[in-house]
Amino acid sequence: MNREPDRVELLMCHLEGECSPDESRRLEALLKTDPALRRLRDFLRESTTSEKRPALYELRSAARELSARMFRDWRRMGSQTDPPRGLAVYDSKNLPIPEGVRPAVVDTRRLKYKTDDMELELSLYPVALNAYELVGQVAGPEITRPCRIELKSEARTMAAATDEFCLFYVPRLPVASYTLTVLADNRAVAVVDIDL
């Protein structure tokens, strides 16, 4: 280099192991007095040790799918606040199957829904080609005692009661689109849509 390198050039040189001892000493002195340069150095150093990062790139499409659905449901919800409609914040169906895992092994599905005051977690296990076993749990400040769960589809209505841990169980839930309502003291405290 004919001209004297600026701070960022010097830093890059150092990170690429191309600095002379003099340049390294100069950089060390600069780093002591320049917090912005230190931050840039820390970031570059951390981000180049990529083996520390799990493979998150593959999550991008799952994240996009989930957030698009969240937005769609949010818009559909409009100003409806009573009962509050839950938005899906987790759906394992969107996650790519880890390399080397046979699809049958991960054929269960986990779903999470959220309202401002409640969280609903569902685990679905296939028990037949067209039916799931459902285990769910409700949590939130309004859920202080066992409540009732109603699952309505076009063809049927099913119900379950939560236990003292707010867990509920439906042994056989036929594949369909459902509206799940959480009722506490006979009052609907949350509604979510589930597509099986």
Partner 1 sequence: MSRAGEKTHTELIRACLDGDPLAWERLVDVVTPLIFSICATMRLSREESYDVFGQVSYLLLRNLDHVKSADRLMSYVATMTRREVGELRRRVQLAERSRQAIKRALYDIAPESPEKLYELTRLNEIINRAMVQLPERDYRLLRALFFEEGKPDYEQVAARLHMPVSSVGPTRLRCLKKLYRILKQKRFER
Determine, following the binding rule CB under 8 A, whether residue 42 of this chain makes contact with partner 1.
Answer: yes
Determine, following the binding rule CB under 8 A, whether residue 82 of this chain makes contact with partner 1.
Answer: no
Q: What is the pattern of x (binds partner 1, CB under 8 A) and - over residues 113-152? A: -x-x------------------------------------
Phi, psi at residue 140, to the nearest 5°? 160, 160
Over the chain, what HEC string results? CCCCCCHHHHHHHHHCCCCCHHHHHHHHHHHHHCHHHHHHHHHHHHHHCHHHCCCCHHHHHHHHHHHHHHHHHHHHHCCCCCCCECEEEEEHHHCCCCCCCCHHHHCCEEEEEECCCCEEEEEEEEEECCEEEEEEEEECCCCCCCCEEEEECCCCEEEEECCCCCEEEEEEEECCEEEEEEEECCEEEEEEEEEC
Tell me the window of 29-37, 144-152, 159-167, 186-194 that interacts with partner 1 (CB under 8 A): 29-37
Determine, following the binding rule CB under 8 A, whether residue 40 of this chain makes contact with partner 1.
Answer: yes
Strand partners, 174: 131
Tell me the window of 86-94, 127-135, 142-150, 178-186 that interacts with partner 1 (CB under 8 A): 86-94
Determine, following the binding rule CB under 8 A, whether residue 77 of this chain makes contact with partner 1.
Answer: no
* Minimum gap (Å) between residue 177 Cβ and partner 1: 21
Number of residues that bind partner 1 (CB under 8 A): 48
Determine, following the binding rule CB under 8 A, whether residue 3 of this chain makes contact with partner 1.
Answer: no
Residue given tokens 């769960």 in the structure block: 149
Q: What whole-number distance in Å separates Cα of residue 27 and Cα of residue 165?
A: 59
Among 28, 29, 67, 163, binds partner 1 (CB under 8 A): 67
Determine, following the binding rule CB under 8 A, whether residue 63 of this chain makes contact with partner 1.
Answer: yes
* Minimum gap (Å) between residue 53 Cβ and partner 1: 4
Q: Tell me which residues touch partner 1 (CB under 8 A).
A: 6-9, 12, 34-37, 39-40, 42-44, 46-47, 50-60, 62-64, 66-68, 70-72, 74-75, 87-90, 92, 94-95, 112, 114, 116
